[in-house]
Structure 1
Amino acid sequence: MRGVGGGRGGSGRDVGRTGAERKARKPGPGRRPGWVIGGFAVAIAGLLLFHRAVPGPPGGLLASFLPWLGPVVVVLLGFALLRRSGVAPAALVLPAAAWAHAFGGLLLPGEGPGSGPYGLVVVQHNVSDENPDPAGTARALAAAGPDLVALEELVPPALSVYEEALAPEYPYRAVHGTVGLWSRHPLTGARPVDIRPPGITGPWERGLRAVARTPRGDVAVYVAHLPSVRIGAGGLASSRRDESARRLGDAVAAEEVAAVVLLGDLNGTVDDRGLDPLTSRLGAARRGLAPSFPAAFPVARIDQVMARAATVGRIRTLPATGSDHLPVLARVTLR
């Protein structure tokens, strides 16, 4: 005779409970949300802190979307609070702190450290070679009142439209191939910059350099359009973009004018390690996220304003034009 509750099928605590009640007490995925969210929290923090350990082009692409992990953390926190989990909110402190360390400064008000009384307002825009309204695009950019306007994907006959529309406010210009610079200040020393990566044949004129004679002194301005990252049968391919960035970085390093401003569609964010030859030599914006591509639903800022011996303050996007990119505007403070 077995004692009460002494059989192998149960314990004394189960006496008087139905099978359904005993099953309901067993832990399952729906009863462990805190640990699941905690696992996600650790994974997100790991990506934010150690994304450079991810090899190859996927690592660079991952870096471009890291700011979007912030909203993911907020969603996870809301879910944890709804489930009244005690573990998850504490675990989410780690990725929240990692995100704030990486991107929190961009959300602060003001222009950022180094703001001063004199600066250049600049606009960078890939206008798209399929833009149906180049005149309207030019007017919209000029209405923002910048000192310098850098454009990429200039193609005939749109180029003549941009020249005519911008001439009243920007009498000085330098154009090479599909990139151009318009300025309120005199431009000198305009010349092409060879950033053609290996393997590309035929016309490929996507870099220029000119010196803007500003009231504060000379500024070497570079305008560039780097190759895009391609997705093919072998996966992501960024070697052409990376080599073009290296050549552009070498040109900037050899620049004799102290103050340098780089404006361009770099087809990568400043966190993409493929752009290290540039980000190691030039400072990026101190404030603002300003995703610029694609214009319909911008998820990443691949249009950049960077500088040497100068500080890029807040960067922001302007309203959409006929391009698949949004224009970006920033104030560059000369030191």
Structure 2
Amino acid sequence: MTQQAYMTETADGGSEPERPGSRLRRLTHRLLDGWRGDPRVWRRGIVLAVLALLLALVMLVHSRIPNRVGNLGSLTETFLPWMGLAIPVLLLLGLVRKSATALIALLLPTVMWLNLFGGLLSDKSAGGGDFTVATHNVNADNPDPATTATDVAASGADVLALEELPASAAPVYEKALAPAYKYHAVVGTVGLWSKYPMTDVRAVDIKLGWKRAMRATVATPKGPLAVYVAHLPSVRVKMQAGFTARQRDKSADALGEAIADETVRRVVLLGDLNGTMNDRALNAVTSQMRSTQGAAGSGFGFSWPASFPMARIDQIMVKGVEPERSWTLPRTNSDHLPVAARVSLDTSS
């Protein structure tokens, strides 16, 4: 098979292979020449322009979309980053339609998306930090809890939180993690493993009627650190009720109140919150804590579902602690990805 070479005429009448940059300019000029003098470039693509403006509007007022009907607002906010996929689609359609109106209108959602999520595209991780934390929803139906425990322990985390621990599998996790962690506590279906002593371990009431949240004070080399572990209720999609999250929202409010009342200045929250940082239902928590992924991560850090991550619902959040790096760990036998973060503990009192 022979490759066709594009030639350009030289000053002396000869020819030479066309450079890639010259080819791009030639194609651009050809495209523009096809649009010049054609008044239809402004009349075509009105529907595409309207779709672009609607996309921008959703991103602009997502916090005002009501939750009264099937918690539509929270559903939109959960998958808000994925709206960016509509931009290249509309761009391609605008080019095919040769619509200047559609392409100009597309600038608005592009700017809106970059304003919301552009900061996540850069790598904000640093090389510092003196303490590593990790969290993992291990899945109650995990077929191999011992291997999962070994996999997450390989992260080297100083503190490791596990959620969705069934009573039958808890001893397996305890045995598998014992070599790496001298101290641990399990409260209901959540647990905390630490390389440093833990005190004041207790359940946190998140208004469920059973225990799915806890806190402990970890005696780190830099001083006490309050560590919260939480597994908020799942968000459900029901045929009649739509996207329902009322129980999750109520639990999030209770968790936020507990953290607000915390007396230890340095606080870390680890867990499956079943919501993203954009979800207004988590405001009671997100208004007072920083996401390590947003502050020191690279990319979106999606953690669920593990087979094709689409949302960051497993969170590491901090208060009185400086995030240095945040990342997802390799997949285990769970339907969630483990997430980890490296932080600097403030040494001031």
TM range (shorter): 0.7 to 0.9
Cα displacement (A) at 1:162: 0.9
For residues 114-133 of structure 1, what are the structure 2 equivalents within 5 Å?
A: 117-133=128-144
| Residue in structure 2 matched with residue 89 of structure 1 by the alignment | 103
Equivalent residue of 2:135, what SS? strand
Q: Which runs of 5+ in 2 are unaligned?
A: 1-39
- Among candidates 196, 204, 211, match of residue 205 of structure 1: 211
Is the CA contact (8 Å cut-off) linking 2:128 and 2:324 kept in structure 1?
no
Q: 2:191 and 2:51 mapped to 1: Cα distance? A: 45
- Among candidates 132, 145, 149, match of residue 134 of structure 1: 145
Q: 1:109 and 1:154 mapped to 2: Cα distance? A: 33
- Among candidates 283, 291, 306, match of residue 290 of structure 2: 283
Bigger CA drift: 281-290 or 176-185? 281-290
Cα displacement (A) at 1:185: 1.9
Bigger CA drift: 262-271 or 69-78? 69-78
Q: 2:308 and 2:128 mapped to 1: Cα distance? A: 35
**Amino acid of the structure 1 residue aligned with 2:306:** A
| Residue in structure 1 matched with residue 264 of structure 2 by the alignment | 257
Is the CA contact (8 Å cut-off) linking 1:283 and 1:311 kept in structure 2?
no
Residue 236 of structure 2 corresponds to residue 230 of structure 1: yes
| Residue in structure 1 matched with residue 155 of structure 2 by the alignment | 144
Q: What TM-score do you get using the length of structure 2 for normalisation?
A: 0.81
| Residue in structure 2 matched with residue 273 of structure 1 by the alignment | 280
| Residue in structure 2 matched with residue 246 of structure 1 by the alignment | 253
Is the CA contact (8 Å cut-off) linking 1:289 and 1:316 kept in structure 2?
no
Q: 2:321 and 2:120 mapped to 1: Cα distance? A: 18
Structure 1 stretches (4+) deviating beyond 4 angstroms? 30-33
Is the CA contact (8 Å cut-off) linking 1:116 and 1:333 kept in structure 2?
no
Is the CA contact (8 Å cut-off) linking 2:249 and 2:282 kept in structure 1?
yes
Q: 1:96 and 1:221 mapped to 2: Cα distance? A: 39
Is the CA contact (8 Å cut-off) linking 2:160 and 2:194 kept in structure 1?
yes
Q: 1:102 and 1:141 mapped to 2: Cα distance? A: 31
Q: What per-residue deviation string (whole Å, max 9, x for no partner) do you get for residues 37-94 of structure 1?
A: 2212111111111101110111011101011012221222233234433222322221
Is the CA contact (8 Å cut-off) linking 2:42 and 2:99 kept in structure 1?
no
Q: Which runs of 5+ in 1 are unaligned?
A: 1-26
Residues 33, 223 of structure 1: CA spacing in aligned structure 2 closer, same or farther, 3 A cutoff? farther
Q: 1:332 and 1:32 mapped to 2: Cα distance? A: 54
Q: 1:121 and 1:82 mapped to 2: Cα distance? A: 50
Cα displacement (A) at 1:189: 1.3
Is the CA contact (8 Å cut-off) linking 2:162 and 2:191 kept in structure 1?
yes
Residues 284, 206 of structure 1: CA spacing in aligned structure 2 closer, same or farther, 3 A cutoff? same
Equivalent residue of 1:38, what SS? helix
Residues 85, 134 of structure 1: CA spacing in aligned structure 2 closer, same or farther, 3 A cutoff? same
**Amino acid of the structure 2 residue aligned with 1:96:** T
| Residue in structure 1 matched with residue 345 of structure 2 by the alignment | 334
Residue 106 of structure 2 corresponds to residue 100 of structure 1: no
Q: 1:333 and 1:35 mapped to 2: Cα distance? A: 52
Bigger CA drift: 90-99 or 53-62? 90-99
Q: What TM-score do you get using the length of structure 1 for normalisation?
A: 0.84
Equivalent residue of 1:92, what SS? helix
Residues 269, 313 of structure 1: CA spacing in aligned structure 2 closer, same or farther, 3 A cutoff? farther
Equivalent residue of 2:271, what SS? strand
Cα displacement (A) at 1:314: 4.1
Residues 262, 138 of structure 1: CA spacing in aligned structure 2 closer, same or farther, 3 A cutoff? same
**Amino acid of the structure 2 residue aligned with 1:242:** D
Q: 1:49 and 1:331 mapped to 2: Cα distance? A: 33
- Among candidates 182, 199, 202, match of residue 171 of structure 1: 182
Aligned residues: percent identity? 50
Q: What per-residue deviation string (whole Å, max 9, x for no partner) do you get for residues 150-189 of structure 1?
A: 1001113311111111111111112101100111222111
Q: 1:71 and 1:165 mapped to 2: Cα distance? A: 42
Residue 204 of structure 2 corresponds to residue 190 of structure 1: no
Residues 74, 119 of structure 1: CA spacing in aligned structure 2 closer, same or farther, 3 A cutoff? farther
Cα displacement (A) at 1:334: 2.5
**Amino acid of the structure 2 residue aligned with 1:281:** Q
Cα displacement (A) at 1:313: 4.2
Is the CA contact (8 Å cut-off) linking 1:153 and 1:179 kept in structure 2?
yes
Is the CA contact (8 Å cut-off) linking 1:152 and 1:224 kept in structure 2?
yes
Is the CA contact (8 Å cut-off) linking 1:125 and 1:151 kept in structure 2?
yes
Q: 1:89 and 1:314 mapped to 2: Cα distance? A: 38
